[in-house]
Amino acid sequence: MLSMLKGKKGFTLIELMIVVAIIGILAAIAIPNFLRFQAKSKQSEAKTNLGGIFTAEISYFGENNYYGNFSQIAWAPTGTTRYTYYSGAYTNLFVTPVPTSAADNTGNSTPYTASTLLAARTDNTFISQAVGEIDSDAYRDEWTMTQLRVLTNVRDDVVN
């Protein structure tokens, strides 16, 4: 019996080191891709909520003939949000009735000024905006939605 066991050998140290090196290379390739896909999935919050804002704005416009702010359209994000949402200041001052609020932010409490395109509303147009931090770096992710349902990624935090 002892002679049979002597003939069997296990893995050598070199073979084990090669396997560990291969696993390390595969992990180095897979982890950045996983983090990028995870960040892209976080962007779906902004897309979904801006779609909800669009629907509420269109419904409000159908009843009142002008676009409203978040309190007028009865929209607020639910749950824990990564983005801050803006409906923008009302820019048409000679319309009756004048909406009650100039700008509102019902998302995160972190103050941030959008860099490229500020949200705005008139009687016949609106641009809603979502600004958020999705991957813990110096860049912010910015999305806008217009009354024509044009969704634009103004600044992509996944790419940066």
| Rounded-to-integer distance, Cα 152 and Cα 119, Å | 12
In a domain, 55, yes or no: yes
For residue 100, pLDDT over 80 is answered with no
In a domain, 59, yes or no: yes
Confidence band for 102, pLDDT divided at 50, 70 and 90: very low
The domain of 101 spans 42-155
Structure tokens at 114: 């959008």
Burial (Cβ within 10 Å: 0-12, 13-18, ≥19) of residue 89: middle
Q: How many domains does the chain have?
A: 1
Task: Give this prediction's pTM.
Answer: 0.69
Is the four-CA dihedral 44, 46, 51, 52 of positive or negative sign? positive
**With pLDDT > 70 as the criterion, what percentage of the chain qualifies?**
78
In a domain, 139, yes or no: yes
In a domain, 37, yes or no: no
In a domain, 48, yes or no: yes
- 145-156, pLDDT tens digit by residue? 999 999 999 888
Structure tokens at 32: 């950045």
- 1-59, pLDDT tens digit by residue? 556 656 567 889 999 999 999 999 999 999 988 988 888 888 999 999 999 999 999 99
In a domain, 14, yes or no: no
- 67-95, pLDDT tens digit by residue? 988 989 999 998 888 899 998 777 754 33
